[in-house]
Chain A
Amino acid sequence: MSTESAETEHEQEYESRVGAMHAFSRLLEDTSAKISLVAITIISAMALFAFVDAKLLDYQLAEMFLYHPLRAESGARPLLPPVGLSNQFGDGVLAHPLGTDTRGRDIAVRILYGSRIAIQIALVSTTIGVAVGTAVGAVSGYYGGWIDDVLMRFVEILYSIPFLVLVIAFMAAFGRNLTYAMIGVSIISVPIFARLIRSEVLSIREETYVEAAQAAGVKDRNILLRHVIPNSFAPVVVQTTLQMGTNILIVAGLSFLGFGAQPPTPSWGQMLSIARNYMLPAPWFSVWPGLAILVTVMAFNILGDGLRDILDPRLND
C-alpha cells in the first residue's frame, strides 16, 4: 500500500508541475498579463534595492548614486515642481525630475524607497492571511459540524467589522507601527481565504479520491495536506494575487491616516497625507505617490485576472 500511495503522490506531483508550467506559458501568451508581470518584477526589484540599502547599508547606495530619502541635501529647495514646469518656488530641474517635497527631499527617490513598504505589506501580510485562512477554512470545511460552526461564526465576526476600522482599532491597542499594520492587515485577509478554501474543500471532500484515501486509512491531517488543499489551490492563487493589490490599498489608506509606516520612513500613503496640505501651491506632489499606488495595484489586479482566466476554467466564457 505504501508503494502505491507513493506512486500516486509522485504522479500527482508530476502532473501539478506540468500544470504549473503549462499555466505559466499560457500566462505569457496574454499580453496584458505579461506587461503586469514585468511591472511587478520591476517594482519588486526597486523594493529589494530599497530594502537592502535601508536595512543593511544604511542608505549608502542612496547617498552615492541618488539622494538620501530621509534627509534633505544642504541648500535643497522645497516644493520644486517636476522638470519642465515652474511654480512660485522656482523652476523644475533635471536633478529632481519629479520635484521636491516640503523639506526639499527628492520625490522620485522617496517613491523608490516607498516601494519597499508596499511590496513588504503585499508579501508578508498576504502570506500570513493565506496561511491562516487556509488552515481555518480547510479544517472548517473538512470536519464540518460544531468545529465548522464555531470557526465560521468567528470568521463572520471578523468580516463584519469594516476592515479599516478593525485595523485602526487593533493598532490603537497595540501601537502605531508597520509591524502592527501588517499583522492587522493579515487578520482581515484571513476571513477571505478561510471562506474561499472552505467552499472548495466542501466540494472536494465529496470526490472519490478523498473517499478512497479515507477508506485506505490515511490520516485526516494527511488527506487535508496532500489531497484537499493542493486541489483547491487554483482559486487561492488568483485570490492571493488580487489580495496583494487590495492590501497595498488598505495600507496606503492606513498610512494616509497616520497609522502606517511612521516618518521619516517614506511610504506612498504617508507622502500623500503630507502632500494634502500643499495641494494649492504644489499639486504635483499629490500626483506621484498616488500614481505609484495605482500602477502597483493595477499590475497585481491584471495579473490576478490573467491567472483567473487560465486557472479557473469555470469562468472562461
Chain B
Amino acid sequence: MSHLRYSVKRLLQAIPVLLGITSITFFLINAMPGSPVEVMLGPTATEEMITEASARYGFDQPLYVRYYKYILAVLGGDLGQSIHYGVPVTEKILERLPVTILLLVSSFTFAISVAIPLGIVSARRRNQPIDHGSRVVSLIGVSTPNFWIGLLLIIVFGYHLQVLPSNGLVMPFTPISEVGGADSRLDVLVETGRSLIMPTIALGTLQMAAISRIERSSMLEVLGRDYISLARAFGVKESVITRKHAFRNAQLPVVTIIGLQLTSALGGAVLTETVFNINGMGRLIIQAIRTQDYALIMGTTLFFGFMFVVGTLLTDLTYAYLDPRVTYEGEQ
C-alpha cells in the first residue's frame, strides 16, 4: 500500500478518536457544578436574567440536544464563544497555538539532537565511564519534575547570573517596537532565542532522557546482530558500521518513543508555560478552568487531543519511511 493511501486510512481512523475526545470533554464539562450562564452573569444576576440568558445561549435545552449541536458546530469548525474573553474560542486558540508549537518544536529538537548522539556513544562505549555518565544523566532526567528544572534555571540564570529572561516568550514575528531594546528584526530573533533557552531545557529534559535510554538499548540490540558481526569480520570500520549499518535499523523503537512522548510533552507544556509565564495553549487551558469558561475548556482540550493525533500520524509515517519492510496491508 502506498504511503498516501496509508495516511488517508490513518486519518480516517483518527475520526472516532477525536469524536471520543469531544464526547468525554463535553460530558465532563457538563458535570461541572454551576451553569455557565451563572458564571458569566456573576453573583448579582436575578432569576429572570439567568433564564433569559440560558434561553439565548441554548443552555435550557436538554443535554443530548446540546451535545448534538456541539458536535455539529465542531464539525463546522466552530468551537463556540469564550465567555471570559468574549471572542470565539478558535480565535483565542489560533492566537496561542504558535507559542506552544514553537516551544514544543524547540524542546523536541533539543531532546532529539542531544539524546541520539548520547545514546549512540553510550551503546558503543558500553560499561565505560561515558556510558555510566550518560545513563545517570538520563535517569535523573526521567525522574525530575520539569517545572522544578524550570524553577532552578530561573534561580540560577534568571535571578542569580541575570543572563537569561525568565518571563514570557518573545515570538519571532512580534512587532519590533514591542520588544524592549530591539532595533531590528535580528534583535527580535535573538531575543526569541534567549527567551526560548530555559523553557526548552525545562520541557525537553524528560524527552531527552527517555529518548537516549531507548536509543542506547536499541543500538545495543542492533549492534549485537549477526550481520553486524559479519561486517566486523570483513574488517568494516566501527564508525562505518554505526553510521551505515546499525543507525537506521536502530531508529524504529526511537521513533515510537518520540511519538509516545508527545502526550507527556503536551502535559509538560502546561507546567512549563506556567513556570515561565508564557501565554500559550497550556496556560490558556488552566485559565479557562479557573474562570470556568466552558467553551474554552472544551475547545482547548479537543485541540490538545487533535495535536496528539496529528503527532502520532507523523510518527507512523516516519516509521513507514524508515522501515521499508513495514507494509500496511491488513494492518490495524
Residues of A within 8 A of B (CB): 153-154, 156-166, 168-170, 172-175, 245, 249-250, 252-253, 256-257, 269, 272, 275-276, 279-280, 283, 286-287, 290, 293-294, 297-298, 301-302, 305, 315, 317
Contacts and interface: CB of A to CB of B under 8 A. Distances in A.
Nearest to B274: A257
Contacts of B21: 157, 160-161
B25 interface: yes
Contacts of A252: 145
Contact of A317 (B20, B154, B221, B305): B221
B11 interface: no
A296 B194 CA distance: 33
B32 interface: yes
A165 B139 CA distance: 25
Nearest to B16: A153
A294 B149 CA distance: 11
B217 A279 contact: no
B29 A173 contact: yes
B297 interface: yes
| 10 closest residue pairs by CB, A with B | A164-B267, A157-B20, A290-B148, A162-B266, A298-B143, A297-B143, A173-B31, A162-B267, A173-B28, A172-B289
Interface in B291-332: 292, 297, 300-301, 304-305, 308-309, 312
- Of the candidates B17, B154, B266, B268, the one having the most CB atoms from chain A within 10 angstroms of its own CB is B17
Interface in B265-298: 266-268, 270-271, 274-275, 285-286, 289, 292, 297
B159 interface: yes
Given A164-B271, A276-B151, 6 more contacts: A156-B17, A160-B263, A162-B267, A162-B308, A293-B144, A294-B148
**Chain B interface residue number, banded:** 35 or more
B114 interface: no
Nearest to A242: B142
B155 interface: yes
A279 B17 contact: no
B24 interface: yes
Contacts of A276: 151, 275
A279 B301 contact: no
16 contacts: A154-B20, A160-B312, A161-B21, A162-B263, A162-B267, A162-B304, A162-B305, A164-B270, A168-B270, A169-B25, A175-B33, A253-B145, A279-B151, A286-B152, A287-B152, A301-B139
A170 B297 CA distance: 11
Contacts of A245: 143
A279 B154 CA distance: 8
Contacts of B20: 153-154, 156-157, 160
Most A CB contacts (10 A, CB to CB) among B139, B148, B275, B304 go to: B148
Contact of B289 (A168, A174, A301): A168
Interface string B21-45: 1001100110111000000000000
Contacts of B164: none
Given A245-B143, A256-B147, A163 B152 contact: no
A256 B155 contact: no
Nearest to A302: B139
